[in-house]
Amino acid sequence: MKPNGLRQIWADNKAALNGWLAIPSSFSAEIMAHQGFDTLTVDLQHGVADYQTAITMLQAVATTSTVPLCRVPWNEPGIVQRMLDAGVMGVICPMVNTRAQAEAFVSVMNYPPKGTRSFGPIRSLYAYGPSYPTWANDEIVSFAMIETREALSNLDDILSVPGLDAVYVGPSDLAASLGYTPRFDPEEPAVVDAIRHIIARVKAHGLKAGIHNGTAAYAKKMIEAGYDLVTVGSDARFVAIEAANVAAAMKDRPAPGASSGTY
């Protein structure tokens, strides 16, 4: 058995730092896996990777102790089960708005008799060994995304679904659903109140919660508020930000040979 390192972080009463993989590349995934993130999430919803590319990204992450997660495109049994068979140790499911949707998601996350997951762990057996089917139900983490007004109104019903381990807050969609501009690190009182309400109810139900952030400073505030997993940016944003910084720093570059002195 290879225990889920994310669950161990939580057992130690620590918050996990999650990285986000939007670029469809095993090399960029490997680079991210060596930077000190506790977990890395392959984004199949808004990222550019497809299933086959995601496999190579998971193989790259497996060269480290970083825990592989994924966000699936939708609450659809086929892709959830394929990603489980591919070897992820946690699945983030978008737009879970009702108890019934949460129940359907949790069901396909688990082998019978606990759930309805079909048996065929094609890569998981090689990644984790032949005992994988005996502990998968207990170790893999199920995250339901809470990101709409409807989900807020059904929050306690969602959180009471047996087998749900955690929620993941999408602040951009949550803000949009509440009538505000979608963005990371919201400061609008109504959105902040919703984010704090979510974590309060999550703790009352004994579950865990993650949230997407744009900056490390905001992520630290979320940990202080009680969040157990924080995502800061993504590989695509890191590339864009640093590239923009370099280009901006070079806008006032001198003409060739402008100085007669030594460099």
**pLDDT tens digits, one per residue of 97-114:** 999 999 999 999 999 999
What's the longest Cα–Cα distance across the chain?
79
Q: Is the pLDDT of residue 259 over 90?
A: no
Q: Which residue has the higher pLDDT, 259 or 93?
A: 93
For residue 30, give every residue at least 6 positions away whose Cβ sits within 8 Å of its Cβ, in sequence order, or none.
Answer: 60, 61, 63
For residue 261, give every residue at least 6 positions away whose Cβ sits within 8 Å of its Cβ, in sequence order, or none.
Answer: none
Q: What is the pLDDT of residue 260?
A: 62
Q: Is the pLDDT of residue 74 over 90?
A: yes
* Residues with active-site annotation: 46
**Position 124: which residue type?**
S
Query: What average pLDDT does range 157-173 have in this prediction?
Result: 98
Q: What is the pLDDT of residue 263?
A: 60
For the chain, what is the mean pLDDT?
A: 97
Q: What is the pLDDT of residue 217?
A: 98
Q: What is the pLDDT of residue 57?
A: 98
This prediction has a pTM of 0.96
Q: What is the pLDDT of residue 257?
A: 85
Q: Which residue has the higher pLDDT, 1 or 149?
A: 149
Q: How is residue 60 written in tokens?
A: 């790259």
* CATH class entry, domain 5-238: alpha beta
pLDDT band at 262 (very low <50, low <70, confident <90, very high): low
Query: What average pLDDT does range 166-175 have in this prediction?
Result: 98
> In 148-261, at which residue ranges do the beta strands (DSSP E only) sit?
166-169, 208-213, 229-232
Query: What average pLDDT does range 190-196 have in this prediction?
Result: 98
Query: What average pLDDT does range 7-31 have in this prediction?
Result: 98
Q: What is the pLDDT of residue 261?
A: 62
Q: What is the pLDDT of residue 258?
A: 83
Residue by residue, DSSP assigns 53-112 as: HHHHHHHHHTTSSPEEEEE-SSS-HHHHHHHHHHT-SEEEES---SHHHHHHHHHHHS-T
Query: What average pLDDT does range 153-166 have in this prediction?
Result: 98
Query: What average pLDDT does range 50-71 have in this prediction?
Result: 98
Query: What average pLDDT does range 34-59 have in this prediction?
Result: 98
Query: What average pLDDT does range 158-174 have in this prediction?
Result: 98
**pLDDT tens digits, one per residue of 120-153:** 999 999 999 999 999 999 999 999 999 999 999 9
Query: What average pLDDT does range 85-98 have in this prediction?
Result: 98
**pLDDT tens digits, one per residue of 194-220:** 999 999 999 999 999 999 999 999 999
Q: Is the pLDDT of residue 87 over 70?
A: yes
